[in-house]
Amino acid sequence: DADVTQTPRNRITKTGKRIMLECSQTKGHDRMYWYRQDPGLGLRLIYYSFDVKDINKGEISDGYSVSRQAQAKFSLSLESAIPNQTALYFCATSDPQGRAGGDTQYFGPGTRLTVL
């Protein structure tokens, strides 16, 4: 089974709709992240959480909100989706004390979101 899972994998929605993307992990990591990836812009950090009670804005948090329901679950919401939020969204986890060293990121498979 995958260590980091995301649902849904693909979603098409309309402008103004509320959307929730969910992320679950079995790695036992405290740190979780949401990124979006756009062609030519690379990975950009939306929100991150270093433990259940810690939520922080990233580089591009406007228009998004998050909820850390448990150590293993981190959800991203688009309160009122707009077309320029069409992108590939990735959840990631990390453990700064892990064997890989640094704060190595472990990514989920991604959610492709299209806002019409």
Partner 1 sequence: SQKIEQNSEALNIQEGKTATLTCNYTNYSPAYLQWYRQDPGRGPVFLLLIRENEKEKRKERLKVTFDTTLKQSLFHITASQPADSATYLCARAGRDDKIIFGKGTRLHILP
Return d(Cα 60, Cα 34) in angstroms, integer.
10
Q: Which is nearer to partner 1, 18 or 112 (CB)?
A: 112
Shortest spacing between CB 16 and partner 1, in angstroms: 27
How many Cα atoms within 13 Å fall on the side-chain side of residue 26? Answer: 4
Task: Please check whether residue 105 is in contact with residue 48, taking contact to mean a CB–CB distance below 8 angstroms.
Answer: no
Q: Which is nearer to partner 1, 16 or 96 (CB)?
A: 96
Return d(Cα 70, Cα 90) in angstroms, integer.
18
Return d(Cα 50, Cα 37) in angstroms, integer.
21
Binding-residue pattern over the window 65 to 104 for partner 1, x denoting contact by CB under 8 A = -----------------------x-x-x-x-x---xxxxx
Token pair of 106 as six digits: 């472990």
Shortest spacing between CB 70 and partner 1, in angstroms: 21
Residues at the site binding partner 1, with contacts judged by CB under 8 A: 4, 40-43, 45, 48, 50, 58, 88, 90, 92, 94, 96, 100-110, 112
